[in-house]
Structure 1
Amino acid sequence: MRMLIGAVGMALLAGCVSPAMNEARNQAPARTLISDKETPKVAECIKFTWEDEGVFGVDASAYIDKDKSGRLTVYTRGAESFVDLQPQGTGTALSYYAKQPDDSAALRRLAMVATCL
């Protein structure tokens, strides 16, 4: 039962943030990056670093979503910040988006992304 409630909650959360992410994608990303690492490994690293409560406090949540084209997206609750990861050859192309790109939390999240490259 708990798993069902969790799955429904995640589906609702994904449905709420998708319009915000799609709107952000209509603009240029705050930063574009390239990694030599495989896309799933980079995504897991970003998710792990964004869940560091010592850095981001009690709202240190991160989620990974995969779309039909194979793009992975790592995002925070409410999609305040998110990264689209697209396989590129043997590596990964990353596009970082943030609602407030100069906000201290967004800059910390970007720094954490850089550690995963």
Structure 2
Amino acid sequence: MRMLTVALAATLLAGCAGSAMNQARTQAPYKTLASDKPEQVVAQCVQFSWQDETVFGVDAGAYLQPNKKGGSTVYTRSAESFVDLETGATGTTLNYYAKHDDFMAKRRLAALATCL
């Protein structure tokens, strides 16, 4: 029963994050970046860098999932920040979205930039 409750809670949280991300995608990205590296390598690097507790403290959660339109998405709890990664002809395109233009959004962008 406890496992069922945990699974249900995780599903509900993923649904909330998904709707927040879909709403954010209707606007222009906070920043668009490009990399010569393969999409999966960049995505794993971003996920790892966003999980650094020494940089982000208790807010150091990052999750990687396939994107419905191809590519992948790395996102934080409640989708406060997320990045869509897509493979293109010249490499990987990264569209970074942040719910708030604050210190944490800039810190996540800086961590993301180290993966390019």
> TM over 0.5: same fold?
yes
Q: Deviations over 1:70-92 (max 9, x none)?
A: 22000000000000001112621
Q: Deviations over 1:8-53 (max 9, x none)?
A: 5543322111111011000000100000000010000000000000
2:108 maps to which residue?
Answer: 109
2:18 maps to which residue?
Answer: 18
Equivalence map 1:46-65=2 (5 Å): 46-65=46-65
Residues 46, 3 of structure 1: alpha-carbon distance in 2 compared, 3 angstrom cutoff: farther
Q: What are the ranges of 5 or more consecutive residues in structure 2 without an aligned counterpart? A: none
Counterpart CA distance in 2 for 1:2 and 1:71 is 34
Residues 10, 35 of structure 1: alpha-carbon distance in 2 compared, 3 angstrom cutoff: farther
Q: What are the ranges of 5 or more consecutive residues in structure 1 without an aligned counterpart? A: none
Equivalence map 1:1-117=2 (5 Å): 8-89=8-89, 91-101=91-101, 103-117=102-116
Report the RMSD for the aligned CA atoms in angstroms. 2.0
* Identity percentage of aligned residues: 60
For residue 28 of structure 2, give the secondary structure of its aligned residue in structure 1.
coil
Residues 4, 40 of structure 1: alpha-carbon distance in 2 compared, 3 angstrom cutoff: farther
For residue 100 of structure 1, give the secondary structure of its aligned residue in structure 2.
coil
Counterpart CA distance in 1 for 2:19 and 2:56 is 24
How many residues are treated as equivalent by the alignment?
A: 116
Counterpart CA distance in 1 for 2:89 and 2:4 is 37
CA contact (8 A) 1:38 1:90 kept: no
Letter of the aligned partner of 1:12 in structure 2? L
